[in-house]
Amino acid sequence: MTHPPRSHGRKTIRPSLKPRELIEENPHIVGAWQAQVITLFPEVFPGVLGESLTGKALKDDVWHLDTIGLRDHGVGKHRNVDDTPAGGGAGMVIRADVLEQAIMAAKQQAVAPQPIFYLSPRGVPFNQKIAQHWASEPGVTLLCGRFEGVDQRVLDHFRIIEVSLGDFVLTGGEIAAQAMLDATVRLLPGVLGNAESAVEESHSSGLLEHPQYTRPAEWQGRAIPEVLMSGHHARIADWRRAQSEELTRERRPDMWAARQKQD
Ligand code: SAH
């Protein structure tokens, strides 16, 4: 029995009230994952995210990246964004009213409501689980701080969650934003090819990845472990798993203990 061919994909084109230029300048494809970054330095984006797999996915509209420049929302002739800390002390703090304007602009531009995070050394440590969670949202809005940080009232008012790249202090949130977006975007469907499955990577399975080798078969007197050249898939899988477990036990007793508890 034969079935009539079924068509997949978009069949109807919806009319839009937006002028053509606006659509072309801001071509948000429905369904594309949307990253918004609020920053004093929009020119550093997409940065490294414009290369390789994340760059290709950006060109292919798998995801979109919008920057909201804090300076555009600055106050006065000099478009000031910061002021001295209440109570005194070193440095400058980004003003609440400036941040509010930038956040409202981001909300307006968002295709779907999406959570806002502040990159901050005080935040919860970013990890693979958070990347997976972000990838399952319609997108995320990231607020990059500079100087001493941002006015606390904005974080409280908009219920912004703080996330940290690690226990060290950066000069600004931009590098952290790019790192976290990289980790998230590579988990979106279609970004990694079949060849680069995310399932078996370090931190996806609760284990660190086994060692990798490629040609030449012998280098500086070192051979590739024999089992990998055997073509015996089950033995290779066993070897890799054993290596993963050994590495994790040795290097990350914390991960190993968490795993033992699960079993
Ligand atoms: N005075 C702050 C540090 C400010 S660093 C404190 O002691 O907590 C300036 C900006 O860099 C911050 O506002 C934040 O956006 C960013 N930043 C610094 N370290 C970071 C980290 N580990 N993770 C994410 N963002 C960080």
- Which tens digit of pLDDT belongs to each residue from 185-233? 999 999 998 656 777 788 988 999 999 999 999 999 999 999 999 999 9
Q: Give pLDDT, residue 8.
A: 40
What pLDDT was estimated at residue 209? 96
Q: Does the beta carbon of 122 lie inside 6 Å of ligand 1?
A: yes
DSSP string, 152-204: HHHHHHTTPEEEESSSS--SSSHHHHHHHHHHHHTTSTTTS-GGG-STTSTTT
DSSP string, 10-30: -------SS-HHHHHHS---T
Q: Is the CB of 139 under 6 A from ligand 1?
A: no
Question: How many angstroms is it from 53 CA to the middle of ligand 1?
Answer: 28
Distance 169 CA to ligand 1 centre (A): 5
Q: Is the CB of 74 under 6 A from ligand 1?
A: no
- Ligand 1 lined by 119 (C-beta under 6 Å): yes
CA 148 to centroid of ligand 1, rounded, Å: 8
- pLDDT of 17: 42
Residue 188 CA from chain centroid, whole number: 10
- Cα of 16 vs centre of ligand 1, distance in Å, is 42
User: CA 27 to CA 64: how far, in whole Å?
Assistant: 9
Pocket residue to mutate for ligand 1, from 162, 169, 180, 181, most atoms within 8 A of Cβ: 169
Q: Does the Cβ of 116 fall within 6 Å of ligand 1? A: no
Cβ atoms of 37 and 178 within 8 Å: the answer is: no
Supply angle C-alpha 37, 31, 204, rounded to 5: 70
Q: Is the CB of 121 under 6 A from ligand 1?
A: yes
Which stretches of the chain score pLDDT less than 50? 1-25
Give the model's pLDDT for residue 166. 98
Q: Is 76 left (phi over 0), alpha (psi -120 to 50) or beta?
A: left
Distance, CA 135 to ligand 1 centroid (Å)?
23
Domains defined for the chain, CATH in brackets: 20-185 (3.40.1280.10), 201-262 (1.10.1270.20)
164: Cβ below 6 Å to ligand 1?
A: yes
Instruction: Give the position of tokens 């399952």.
Output: 136
Q: Is the CB of 165 under 6 A from ligand 1?
A: yes
- Closest protein CA for atom 3 of ligand 1: 148
Among protein residues, the one with the nearest Cα to ligand 1's atom 11 is 172
Alpha carbon distance 221, 30 (integer Å): 54
Q: What is the pLDDT of residue 31?
A: 84
State whether the beta carbon of 174 lies less than 6 angstroms from ligand 1: no
